[in-house]
Amino acid sequence: MTAVDKCGDLDLTAQARAIRDLRDAIALLANDSRDYLESDLEIDPDAQLAGVYRHIGAGGTVARPTRRGPAMRFTSIKGYDDVSVLVGLLADRRRVARLLGTTPAHVNRVIADAFDDALAPVVVHDAPAQEVVHLASAPDFDIRTLLPAPTNTPHDAAPYFCMGLLLGTDPETGHSDVTIHRIAVQGRDELSIFFAPGRHIDAFRQKAENAGQALPITINMGLDPAIFIGACFEAPTTPFGYDELQVAGGLRREPVELVRAKTVQEHAIARAEIVIEGELLPGIRVAEDQNSGTGHAMPEFPGYNGPAHPSLPVMKVTAVTTRRHPILETLVGPGEEHTSLAGLPTEASILRAVDSALPGLVAQVYAHTAGGGKFLAVMQVRKTSALDDGNARQAAIIALATYRELKNVILVDTDVDVFDSDDVLWAMTTRMQGNTDIIVVPGVAGHVLDPSQQPAYDPSLPAKGVTSKTIYDATAPFHMRAEFARAQFADVDPRPWAPNLNFPYLEDGDGVGE
């Protein structure tokens, strides 16, 4: 049963299910200063916007000082009259849960359950995303002056669209897919796209390129948050040929609406704020920093400015369509928003896989923000027998097999709050011995954006993106569980004595172990 978050007399589950696009999501949050802030003070999208938001609500692996805070919409963008920029919509787990109509502890279960209610998208004929049409064939067309693509730092290779959802179709099978990628603006009608190894749309591109053909795609920005969350699932949870838009349909209990693009043979998200139409060109590559020479790309989720890629595929833009007064959505690369986007699908995938193999063993999973939602998982296990000492480690192995990019797993008992890093470190300090409770699996595929995963760091690694994976078993041995019992305090509601303090774990029912 889905947990319901209450705000006064309002049922947020019902409100969340009414969300169909970004504007509905903003409307849900607009009157709550914890979740939404708007500014009409002019701001420059070139490094200044991200520099401000790092103090407001970026969080994640952003260099300190930073914090979690409200989403922020800037309505006066230097050099742009008709476009506002929204950042940080998903940069807080509680806010994501609210937008999905549930609570922080239950949001991963709600996302996992969406697979059982999956709904395929439908095609409509009229779409808000096409209220305004800008054709690239027009002599004055220039995407650089049309849309304010931000830079995160002064060292970025180029301006980037950081929340652009690519939609493409396999030229051989006709199956469509959606993924989010690093998109750099390279010219008036050219973008470069970084595809991490194994991404499905890149496989579509390679098939088209092998046939000497361009691949039509659309880039969709400013969307219902459920679409972004669903799009971030990966194989094997969503195998090749699975359209992740079905997950968003399951989350909203209503199919995502698509519309035919204006200039290419592909679909777009009908209620997007902005759609870029175009083709990935066969055999054409550009250096990511060809216009800047910085040598850096942009800050990615591990918290580092990785090197600019020397050879990336090119998208030739054929049109940009928008709603009237469009909202461009972006993120601060290594911030908490990435943890939500990548981490919640990671948690849901692990829960589905472990529940299937070891029913009832795993109580909770948190894809920790220190790993950007990808590299580090904390798993809370219920031990009921001595056999579960081994089952807990088996669950960690299943997690590593379920999510290829996962690097480290920490196992804890049900009396440890997976969302509280101090509590997790306490368990690692008092319930773990390095010589018996650390399991290392060497030479396994990981992720190319982790700078430690390369032969220059460890000569035993055969290639970039290969790593050692580690399980840290910080659970008490079952036969010694009495010796590891925590001191128990009286269960007293503190609110009558401290009415002005905030106790969110009491208000939303997200106590440890629930």
For the annotated catalytic residues, the residue numbers are 300
Q: Which of 268, 271, 274 lies closest to 326 in space, CA to CA?
A: 274
Quick count: other Cβ atoms within 10 Å of Cβ 207?
15
DSSP H helices, 57-103, are 93-99
Integer Cα distance of 509 and 419 in angstroms? 14
What gap in Å lies between CA 178 and CA 243, rounded to an integer? Answer: 7
Question: How is 444-458 classified by DSSP, letter by letter?
Answer: EE--TT-TTSSTTT-
- Yes or no: say if 428 and 410 are a contact pair by the CB < 8 Å rule: yes
Which residues lie below 8 Å from residue 139, measured CB to CB, with a gap of 6+?
none
The 3-state secondary structure of 299-319 reads ECCCCCEEECCCCEEEEEEEE
Q: Which residues contact 217 (CB under 8 A, 6 or more apart)?
A: 166, 167, 168, 201, 264, 266, 278, 279, 280, 315
Token couple for 154:
């002064």
Beta bridge mates, 221: 274
* Cα 229 to Cα 227: distance, rounded to the nearest angstrom: 5
Question: How do beta strands 122-123 and 257-260 pair?
Answer: parallel
3-state secondary structure of 258: strand
Find, among 419, 417, 360, 370, the residue nearest to 391 by Cα: 360
- As given in the structure block, the two tokens for residue 446 are 């990981």
For every residue of 345-396, which 3-state class applies, written as one string? HHHHHHHHHHHHHCCCCEEEEEECHHHCCCCEEEEEECCCCCHHHHHHHHHH
Q: Residue 11 forms beta bridges with which residues?
A: 6
